[in-house]
Structure 1
Amino acid sequence: MTTTETLAVRRQAGSRLIPLLAGAGFVVFWSSGFIGARWGTAYSSAVDLLAWRFLLAGTLAAVVLAIRRPRISRADLVTHVAMAFLTQFVYLGLIFTGIDHGIPAGVTALIGSLQPILIATVAGPLLGERVSPVQWTGLLIGLAGVGLVVADDLGHSSPLLFLLPFGGLLGLVAGTCIERKRKPQAHLLDALCLQSLVSGVLFVGFATATAQMTVPHELGFYGAAVWLVVFSTTGGWGLYLVNLRLSGATRISSLLYLVPPTTMVMAYLMFHETIGLLAAFGIVVCAVAVLLIRRPDRRTGR
């Protein structure tokens, strides 16, 4: 094999490895958000926790932006402000509030796992993303798998409370569609910092206006806030933006099927929550579903 052929093979392997690592990292870091929510809301309200989370993240973001001094177009600025409002303020605000009011994290993750279906049926055609029959099969199998994972948690909360995470889900879907439609050109680091800064203003302003901003005395609360900044904001949302640019909205959304199983494993390791046989079977079903959804289209090579 010539040197040129060797380099070509390495580039091809690298082009496949990067999306795989980005996808795996996204699942782990995104799942950590549910753990941080459960951890932090044990000490204070969801709004207070989110305000402190984005106060820290926004401060760091402001420092990074001040050092980098990026040139961001007006169109990109509008896009990222809209995304911060929809995917952070609306999505996280309603998700955390639901958990704070007693909705189990597994059920919340199940509702979040409806995103691939919404993306495929509503947003996909608008974005020009075709969903193959095999991917449709994977979408439905994945939804069934998530249902198995969280089956034991269903029926423990008021039905009206489910409107909170479902409303948050709609915010995430809308923000995802805006990003894929407008395709902002700003550097990913600048995009992450800008959205974190805007989210900090929104959450701190809302918490202050509603008298929910406090100064908790428990170190565990600030541990949860730092956890959310490092793993959920920087890792989870940062890799969400990376995956959006590497693949279509349907494929990145399909990874959300792996979030409830991963969350359960993390909860078992951190809070000693048990995993039943039904949930273990559901984890396998979710993995099969994601493989089907992310299977390349033979006719397009994508």
Structure 2
Amino acid sequence: MRLRPEAAAERAVRASLPSILLAVTALFAWPSDARAGAWARGRGEAYAKASVSYLKAEEMFDDSGDPRPLFDPALYERSRYVERGSALYVEYGAFRLLTLLGSLPLKLADQDADGLAGSGDLHGEAFGFADLHLGARVPLHRGRWAAAIEQDLKIPLRGTPEVVSTMPTLSTGFADFGAALCLGTSLPSLRGYGQGSIGYRIRGGRTAEEKYWDLETGLEPARVLRVRFRYDGVHSQRGGGGAVATDAPVPGVGEQDFQRIAPTLAIALGGSNEVSITWRRVIDGRSTLRSSEWEVGLSFLGKVVPAPGL
């Protein structure tokens, strides 16, 4: 979104983005039975989460893992990257042995910096859907402890980004495929659970392949209160090299290592529905944003359209 007729239209869209995000949330107003990764959904059972988020970064971790400004400090100062978004995530138990997964994010990304010593100010923005994710979870074991294989196919909804551009990148423009082994266990005496996963992603184009993992635990200390903590990370198989001076390392487009923490506080709304607030912080990495993100989500879990059984 950005005095040409097209510019006026883009500004109108940008001005209405908060309303768009609110409408998306209200329309899909549904996620957070967090016991997901290792647990398959029952036949005909659906879990969905609609969320709005705000991410900001003023520094990045360079290729050696040291914090530095987003852009070349000899050319720019007061640099920042901001991302406002909305997302929908859905799981559906198509069969007892197959849970279908899908997610779609909508983003408005801005990057800015003030120029030094004759350098012009830097500004770029991008708005639109990022990549569509479609996947499946196949249970290997059910019961107090659970195991599953989860596959994820990323379908780009945008073309390959320009090599030199001040606009943030929302997609690599290539399809990716990942698969992970997920393990989890319930903790009845603590009214909680623990789970973890480890996986490998094959990325399209020249983007390096990557390993990814996560650990998560959750407790229900009171009938309406739920607390969760997640620790996840990605390790890229790239040979080296970082972001260029006019391009911040946008989340999700690859060639980055990171470790991130994410505590969540959720309030039950009745049944399995809830509203949650999550804070995510990248605490370490290479060629990635040193970002903080806030997310508010609404979730739904229950039986919907009947599904055939196996």
TM-score bracket, shorter-length normalisation = under 0.3
- The structure with the greater share of residues assigned to helix is 1
More relative contact order in 1 or in 2 (CA 8 Å, sep 6+)?
1
Larger Cα Rg: Structure 1 or Structure 2? 2
Give the TM-score of the pair, scaled to structure 1: 0.24
